[in-house]
Structure 1
Amino acid sequence: MAHVIITVSGISISSGALTPAQLNGLACVICEGEDGAMVPVGTIEACQVFAHPACVPSQPVPPSRVLVIGPVATPGDVADLRAFAFDVCDQTGAPAVVATHNDYDVRHFSAVYVYGPTLSEGVRLDPVAVVLMAEAIAYGVDLVEPQPLALDANCEACGQRQTITTVRDGVTSEVFCADCRGDAPGCAWCFEDDVTSPVPVDGAWVPFCHPCGKQMRKAVRRGSAPHVAV
């Protein structure tokens, strides 16, 4: 089979030079490391390959997706988890994938957000959540636990309720959301730095600007949604 070449941050990489772990998306295509969060950087022989963000600083990548985990034993549990994932996407600007099973590689996400109890609380947990939480800890992927209700607050500029990770100004203690701070990554389709809203695509909530969101909703209804960063 002919070797496939991709270019990552100015480096040409041949499929023949990659290890099985790199070709299977388990290891960084630059440093071969298998720990830590990684982002997709290309496709080789129909397999998506990944690299650590620090290894590809000049590589243009879509907004880093996050994995949202929690109880999924009943339809009601899944509905609650989807609602929480909506808030994660809405407040962070990151595509939020809802983990309804444990067949995910947590290293392919920039963070894992937990809905419900965590391993540190010493209570009985959903088996899917247990596996993914343990893997995030083992591989050094950021594990974001629920913040106490007492920290919830409204954005001073737009009024958006901050329930995931409230950020206060270090001097004034004022609260501002990611959009109003200028920290939101922007639209997952056109990559423009505009205010976004979550749209359900392929089991995830994905942030789109208003024009792209309108087009994506139409495409989803027609069953012809284009590939986006999910």
Structure 2
Amino acid sequence: MTHPTPRVLVIGDTTTPDGLTIVTALAHEVADRMQLPAVVAMGRDYDVTQFEAVVYDELSHLGSVDSAVLWVEATEADMCVMNVRDLEDFDLVAECGWCGADDEDPSPVLVEGTWFPVDLCAGCLKGAHADAQSRASVPA
């Protein structure tokens, strides 16, 4: 059974600051290209079957015990396990999902360790944020 909101687990060696930077950048790319929330695996306390897919960094996924274990678990569970190179098969979103305007860089947003895809142009994103804030400030 998968999580109600499809997510992708991104694995690689996160035991060093440089490794964490690389895997975090890969998760950004996953969210951008696959248009799914991407979670950076920190340690091995994850049930890989709760994710739609596992994307691994071919250069570092066997570089730490944690990422190697997660990769084996995902492979043995017969999940969608993708090499980061496979992301090239996914097109980048180039238009706003709200107004349809061309948007060269609808970049994902990092929220509490998960990259969320954002397919809104800067103007619509600003408007959505202002709308959310005004709703939050209305007394019940």
TM beyond 0.5 = yes
Matched, 1:179 2:93: yes
Unaligned runs of 5+ in 1: 1-27, 29-37, 41-61, 148-163, 168-175, 220-230
Question: Which structure is richer in relative contact order (CA contacts within 8 A, separation 6 or more)?
Answer: 2
1:150-189 aligned at under 5 Å gives the runs 164-167=86-89, 177-179=91-93
Give deviations 1:77-121, integer Å, cap 9, x for gaps. Answer: 1111101111111111111101111111111111000013378xx
Number of corresponding residues? 125
Pair 1:203-2:119 in alignment = no
Q: Percent identity?
A: 30
Gaps of 5+ in 2: 134-140
- Note if contact 1:118-1:145 (Cα within 8 Å) is conserved in structure 2: no
Aligned counterpart in structure 2 of residue 107 of structure 1, from 43, 49, 52: 49
Of 6, 19, 23, the match for 1:81: 23
| Local SS of the residue matching 1:200 | strand
Contact 1:68 1:98 in 2 (8 A): yes
Cα contact 2:10–2:38 (8 A) shared by 1 = yes
User: Which residue number in structure 1 is paired with residue 71 of structure 2?
Assistant: 133
Give the Cα–Cα distance (whole angstroms) in 1 for the partners of residues 79 and 91 of structure 2: 23
Which one has the bigger helix percentage?
2
Q: Is the 8 A contact 1:111 1:143 kept in 2?
A: yes
Q: Pick from 50, 69, 94: which aligns with 2:36?
A: 94
Query: Partners of 2:125 and 2:36 in 1: how far apart?
Result: 16
Aligned residue in 1 for 2:136: none
Tell me which structure has the larger Cα radius of gyration.
1
> Which structure has more strand as a fraction of its residues?
1
TM-score, normalised to structure 2's length?
Answer: 0.72
| 1:120-155 deviation line (CA, Å, top 9, x unaligned) | xxxx531111110011011111110132xxxxxxxx
| Alpha-carbon displacement from aligned partner over 1:137-188 (angstroms, at most 9, x marks no partner) | 11111110132xxxxxxxxxxxxxxxx5233xxxxxxxx71536x9xxx97x
State the distance in 1 between where 2:114 and 2:52 align: 15
Q: Which SS does the other structure have where 2:110 is aligned?
A: strand
Q: Which residue of 2 aligns with 1:39?
A: 3
Structure 1 segments, 4+ long, off by >2 Å, are 116-119, 164-167, 192-197, 208-216
CA RMSD, aligned part only?
3.3
Cα distance change on mapping 1:205 and 1:140 into 2, 3 Å: same
Amino acid of the residue matched to residue 100 of structure 1? Answer: M
Question: 1:80 and 1:94, CA in 2 relative to 1: closer, same or farther beyond 3 A?
Answer: same
| Amino acid paired to 1:197 | S
**CA–CA distance in structure 1, aligned partners of residues 129 and 43 of structure 2:** 29
